[in-house]
Chains A and B, each alone.
Chain A
Amino acid sequence: MSAPRCTSPRPLGDLSDYWLGELSAAVEAPLEEHLVGCDECSRRLAWVVDLAAATGALAKRGLLRVVVSDEHLGRLAREGLQLREYCVALGGSVSCTIAPEDDLVVARLAAPFASRERLDLVFCDATGHEEARLADVAVDPTRHEIVFTEPVDGLRRLGVATLRVRLVDVAESGERVLGEYTFNHAPWTAH
């Protein structure tokens, strides 16, 4: 036996707003009444809750390549996660690795630019061949840096390798490379 079907399913966006406590009381009260009386929308809300938990778990295991804020990393560090960070100047390079105890590997790229329409991070191999791209990254221009995490499982499998990351200004007229950052990776060796 199942409950009758919902005649007015609520959008996922509304349900995420509800879960995050972003609705006004006037909007939240009727939605909450609907949810308590509706199996279908309750299941959709449960999906949002599960998605939130699963996304958080992936991020905390360091498995996502994602641009984040400095404050976000601070919260993870305060939770006890071990962060390995590399700061790279525009046009600069860094020797890098990943230790067994590291939970996340973070790159901080200096980006001394005024606001742009769209900035992409282009990930290239040692020869400069594009392998992946983060398009339209969110950058706070007041901080003048781009911070992203790199998946730790890929780094742990990597031998000695060079990774080049290009910061690209994308406009209607075309793309322009603003700068390049070089990561010289070597597997962890205990000293």
Chain B
Amino acid sequence: MDPLSSVAFARRCNERGRRYTPFVESDDGVLPDESPSDADLARTIGAAASGSARDAEAELYRRFAPRVRLYGLRHLRDVHAAADLAQQVLLMTIESLRSGRVREPERIASFVLGTCRQVVLDRRRGEARRQENFDRWAAGLSLEESPRPAEEIDSDRLRACLERLAARERSVVVMTFVAERKSDEVAAELGLAAGNVRVIRHRALGRLRACLESEEGRS
């Protein structure tokens, strides 16, 4: 396998994860300081001979992959599709940087976001075609996916913190997040104003964050 191919690159980035080691690149691929900005990374990749700024590329991938994955989750509501999106968008971004097609490396986040939007749009168009085929051929099949696990938050602690919320806050948080309902939907079901529900949710999130980070939440 070509070590500079897209597949090899993605595999290397994924294997590397957070175990990044500072380095000194080739002459035109040196990172400017200990904590370069995203734009520094983009400029480094763009200035290096194609594919030679490997660590800068790995660092760019490591930084942007979680952000793009969140964008994908927000717009696609599917953990696997979001992971695919992250890989696809970042490979396209790095290939564009390598070939000098990113005109403003200092606005690399805008470039990545634009690529995200385009890929999601393309996916949706393709999805419509796939859905037509699915409806035609797969009707009646039972296909279920595992829900996305919540790994970061301890459920016992969260339960204790939810129990410390005011009843109204607890109702709004639960009804919002169980089925991802918007404020006006929750408001209509609870006989409240939508603006009030939003304020209650914002306040409750702050309290939950504080509780989960405190010793109280650990008890």
Contacts and interface: CB of A to CB of B under 8 A. Distances in A.
A in complex with B: yes
Interface stretch (A13-21, A89-97, A174-182): A13-21
A160 to B, nearest CB: 25
Contacts of A22: 182-183, 198
Contact of A69 (B20, B158, B163, B189): B189
A36 B116 contact: yes
A68 B59 contact: no
B207 to A, nearest CB: 10
A53 B149 contact: yes
A51 B63 contact: no
Contacts of B206: 12-13
B178 A55 contact: yes
B7 interface: no
Interface string B180-219: 1111000001111000001001100110110000000000
A104 B152 CA distance: 25
B191 A142 contact: yes
B71 A35 contact: yes
A17 B35 CA distance: 31
Interface residues of B, number: 63
Contact of A12 (B177, B180, B202): B202
B67 to A, nearest CB: 4
A67 B150 CA distance: 24
B45 to A, nearest CB: 15
Given A36-B116, A54-B153, A63 B109 contact: no
Nearest to A11: B202
Nearest to A60: B178
Nearest to B199: A13
A32 B115 CA distance: 13
B209 A47 contact: yes
A107 B47 CA distance: 66
A33 B117 CA distance: 11
A170 to B, nearest CB: 12
Given A1-B22, A12-B205, A68-B171, A50 B153 contact: yes
A51 B198 contact: no
A75 to B, nearest CB: 5
User: Which of the listed residues A2, A16, A121, A136 has the most CB atoms from chain B within 10 Å of its own CB?
Assistant: A16
B179 interface: yes
5 contacts: A54-B150, A55-B177, A58-B155, A59-B177, A64-B163
